[in-house]
Amino acid sequence: MRFDTGEVLTAMVTPMLNNGDVDYDKVEQLANYLTENGSDSIVVTGTTGESPTLTHEEEIKILHAAKKGVKNNSKIIMGTGSNCTKTAVEMSKLAEQEGADAVLCVVPYYNKPSQKGMIEHFSAIAEAVNLPIIMYNIPSRTGVNMAADTVKYLAEKYNNIAALKQSYGDMDTITELNINTPDDFTILSGDDSLTLPMMSLGVHGVISVASHIFGKEIKMMIKEFKSGNIIKARNLHNKLYPVFRKLFMAPNPTPVKAALAEIGLINDFVRQPLVRLTEEEKSELINTIKSCRANLMALL
């Protein structure tokens, strides 16, 4: 199934009030802001959206608020993954019922399934819904790596398994995926700093955190690369790289929430066990962003 994700998909944070409640008005406003600033699709209720601390009721309300915010100008992808296959199936069915354009499903975490277990997990989801499914491979969080052969098997067997978010910087695996998966299967970088290197091997775009702040610039980097302007794309990558790294100076999404709060878009509250940046950390982050913006202005 060809699912047009676009090239810049933002893994959106979940705005919250200081009492910890989800700020649904800000969810709507932020989704609209991202759509107007480079995002082709919005991913809600993923890790960057603090999904481990959200209730299922909150997740559905976030989906509705984001859909209202984008006004059909970008796609809304809902994170429905779980380390419980039954829960992942139920949430994916609910996402389809409530109007999501696609679902993002992570490899089961903590229980560390075998490749056969991963196949059975994603097969159950694919057989339960008609929505496009983006599988999500992130060994640093799940404790296991989904092999290229497993991705190939699932992509070939199920028409609605449409894409893979690959947050694992092994370039041989990217090559194997690009060679062996169907032509209509989309591979996306899951790490901002790996987007350009992965694109040289056929990756389509990125599910990004930095696009909250530099969405238009990331979109330009991808456009320049695909237009054959490799040097300019590399220069943009090099200018953006310090921010790509600094946004992970503390557990995601703590830094990006602080950056968004600095420009008045949201409050920087994160649910425990995450904690806000210290003032020193925040100053370091903001200075990096300001320096990056100045360097980009000189380049552009």
Helices (H) and strands (E) in the chain — how many of each? 12, 8
CA separation for the pair 1, 161 (Å, rounded): 7
Q: Is 146 helix (H, G, I), strand (E, B) or coil?
A: coil
Partnered with residue 42 across adjacent β-strands are 10, 76
| 95 φ/ψ angles, rounded to the nearest 5 degrees | -60, -40
Is 68 assigned a catalytic role? no
Decide: helix, strand or coil at residue 137: strand
| Residue 245 vs residues 150, 191, 260, 285: alpha-carbon distances, Å | 30, 10, 16, 10
- For residue 214, what are the CA distances in angstroms to 15, 39, 45? 18, 10, 21
- Residue 300 CA to residue 294 CA, distance in Å, equals 10
| CA–CA separation, 76 and 12 (whole Å) | 10
**Residue 191 neighbours by CB under 8 Å, 6+ apart:** 167, 169, 206, 244
| C-beta separation of 107 from 137 below 8 A | yes
Distance between CA atoms of residues 81 and 47, nearest Å: 10
Does residue 165 have an active-site annotation? yes
Indicate the residue type of 127.
Answer: E
Classified as helix, coil or strand, 272 is coil
- How far CA 170 is from CA of 42, 167, 176, 177, in Å, comes to 26, 9, 10, 11
- H/E element holding 154? helix 148-157
Catalytic residue among 136, 153, 239, 257: 136
Catalytic one of 26, 67, 75, 165: 165
Active-site amino acid positions: 136, 165
